[in-house]
Structure 1
Amino acid sequence: MMKPVLRIDATDANPCEGKPVVDWPKAAWNGGMLGVALVGGPLFFSWQALALFLVSTYLTLLVGHSVGMHRMLIHRTFQSGRWVERILIYIGVIVGVAGPFGIIRVHDLRDWAQRQPKCHDFFAHRRGLVSDLTWQLFYRFEFDHAPRLTIEPRVAHDPFYRFIEATWRWQQLPVAAALFVVGGLPFVVWGVCVRIIVSTIGHWTITYFCHNPGPGRWMVKGAYVQASNLPGLGMLTYGECWHNNHHAFPESARIGLEPGQHDPGWMVIRLLQGAGLIWNVGEPRQETAREDLALRTEVAQPPP
């Protein structure tokens, strides 16, 4: 198993102690995109702009966020050459949720908190959907005693990563310019603003339901939050809805582990692997290394 990209020193940290506070840059970004989408979306609607929005939203989330940011950068479930890695991460930045360092921190802090005996509702997603979305779109969590985070030097010191982390919001400008040349303001509004806010809200909505009680055969021992699978949403969520599987086997590049669990992210990974562009593709660890897991039912069988 490859080492995680982020090391967390939580010696003095407590995931229950602290409170959500308004993150003003985050609130301005998401609030601005939401405002433009609500006002400009209807004003600049066209069927071509809608088609652009649907295709660009799906592909950027699939290739950039699910495959690049989540499965490659955060969980290290496969390796690639430098340029393939950078292309995948750049597409992930275009999604508009955060830069690479920001994605790592948000994901791994939440994952660390959820695997503790108890954590704040901000991480556990135990409030109502509207309250939780408000927190995730406009707030950050301010710890009384924050864990110390260290991103591995290969990533933290890479000039490319440092540049796009510092400029990730500005990376929408070349996209907007290209879309304006092709389709004018309707393409900019729907291909940038509507896409970004729908991607962000959609990401946190799936996260909310995946971390509340639901189907799934695996339990992570000692974890306060047990993830759920969301049947029927595999194609819509790029395979990310099989989150009970993912919490059990974060080292696996494939998240839809059972028959009928569609996983478009895995399809992309297989294509890249077949083309020789990626290698060392992770699989669920062997049964002898699953001491941290328990089956929810006695009749369930582990994945191959």
Structure 2
Amino acid sequence: MDTTDRCTVNSLREVPGCDPSAGAVRWDPVHSLWNGGMLAAALLLAPVYASWGAVTVFLVLTGASLLLGHSVGFHRRLIHRSFDCPLWLERALVWVGNCVGMSGPFWMIRTHDLRDWAQRQAHCHDYLAHRQPMLIDAWWQLHCRLTLDHPPAFDLGAAGKDRFYRFLEATWMAQQLPLALLLYLGGGWGWVIWGVCVRVSASVTGHWYVGHLAHRRGPQSWLVKDAGVQAHDIPWAAIPTMGEAWHNNHHAFPGSARIGLYPGQSDWGYAFIRALAAMGVAWNIALPEDLGRDKVLARVGPA
């Protein structure tokens, strides 16, 4: 295990006067039209093209992309760097994460790290804390963006210089087209609607919904001292989120590759990382006991 602090907010750089509390929520036309279009296609066309094959494609692709791409590739590797792996594997996992359909890798890093940093402060904007009622928060998170009056800076490091990641950032929506073509060849329009539109809409909406609940209600084992926003676990969402729904654990140990920490806490993302390690393509895996978080945590629930 190296001595790197795996719990830092990796890409964000504080600058004099930066403030996570003052800013304006504005409509984001790119993500709004994308998210709204996928939802409309799912609601209007999915019933027409429903079949056992199409639903199976939806389930398999959604599970695989959330596990390999969003949970392991984007979140635990690219954002938190909670394990090391060859660059070719990182790029493959990040490409799968890109295909989840939320946005490109740079947007995902900045959005995550801004929220991560803000929630550790004494005060932050309601947008960053999921503090508004559900319908308002849904509109904000799925169709808007926050423009802070005094934002921090970002340095994406090696990822920001990577030509492949720059390509994904510029073409993140178009990355659905090769997949759509393969699905069309395999099962026609039904597979395209369920394998792209329904999958993307369910992933994006589900990501917001679990995130909203995880900052408002649910079990807690830990409080992070001096943090203005605390997290909760969402047990029923552990399997569909591949372990990400143990969000109270994640706030407590943000650099840990393992998020489901206690008996009965399913964590398929960590299980996949262990499988990679068994194959010799993942190493330096950070766990809670490696992170030295005792001074910033207070236990409030059973282990």
Asked if these proteins are the same fold (TM beyond 0.5), I'd say: yes
Give yes or no for contact 1:251–1:285 (8 Å, CA) kept in 2.
no
Query: Are positions 1:69 and 2:74 aligned together?
Result: yes
Residue 276 of structure 1 corresponds to: 280
Residue 175 of structure 2 corresponds to: 171
Deviation, 1:285, is 3.7
Summarize deviations over 1:202-247 as a string: whole Å, max 9, x none. 0111111111132111111111110011224322221111111111
Deviation, 1:121, is 1.0
CA distance, structure 1, for counterparts of residue 211 and residue 84 of structure 2: 25
Partner letter of residue 114 of structure 1? Q
Residue 212 of structure 1 corresponds to: 216
Report the RMSD for the aligned CA atoms in angstroms.
Answer: 1.5
Residue 240 of structure 2 corresponds to: 236
Where in structure 2 are the equivalents of 1:96-245 lying within 5 Å?
A: 96-152=101-157, 154-245=158-249
**Gaps (5+ residues) in structure 1?**
none
Query: Are positions 1:41 and 2:46 aligned together?
Result: yes
Structure 2 residue matching 1:212: 3-state secondary structure: coil
- Aligned-residue sequence identity (percent) comes to 47
Deviation, 1:289, is 4.3
Name whichever of 161-170 and 1-10 sits farther off: 1-10
Summarize deviations over 1:41-63 as a string: whole Å, max 9, x none. 11221121011111111110111
CA distance, structure 2, for counterparts of residue 286 and residue 51 of structure 1: 40
Structure 2 residue matching 1:208: 3-state secondary structure: helix
Deviation, 1:7, is 2.9
CA distance, structure 1, for counterparts of residue 235 and residue 89 of structure 2: 32
TM-score (norm 2): 0.95
Runs ≥4 residues deviating over 4 A:
286-289
Pick from 255, 267, 278: which aligns with 1:263?
A: 267
**Gaps (5+ residues) in structure 2?**
none
Structure 2 residue matching 1:215: 3-state secondary structure: coil
Structure 1 residue matching 2:232: 3-state secondary structure: coil
Deviation, 1:286, is 5.0
Residue 93 of structure 2 corresponds to: 88
Partner letter of residue 70 of structure 2? H
Query: Are positions 1:249 and 2:253 aligned together?
Result: yes
Give yes or no for contact 1:2–1:76 (8 Å, CA) kept in 2.
no
Give yes or no for contact 1:213–1:226 (8 Å, CA) kept in 2.
no
CA distance, structure 2, for counterparts of residue 215 and residue 283 of structure 1: 21
- Number of aligned pairs? 298
TM-score (norm 1): 0.94
Deviation, 1:37, is 1.0
CA distance, structure 2, for counterparts of residue 243 and residue 36 of structure 1: 31
Give yes or no for contact 1:180–1:188 (8 Å, CA) kept in 2.
yes
Deviation, 1:96, is 0.3
Give yes or no for contact 2:224–2:297 (8 Å, CA) kept in 1.
yes
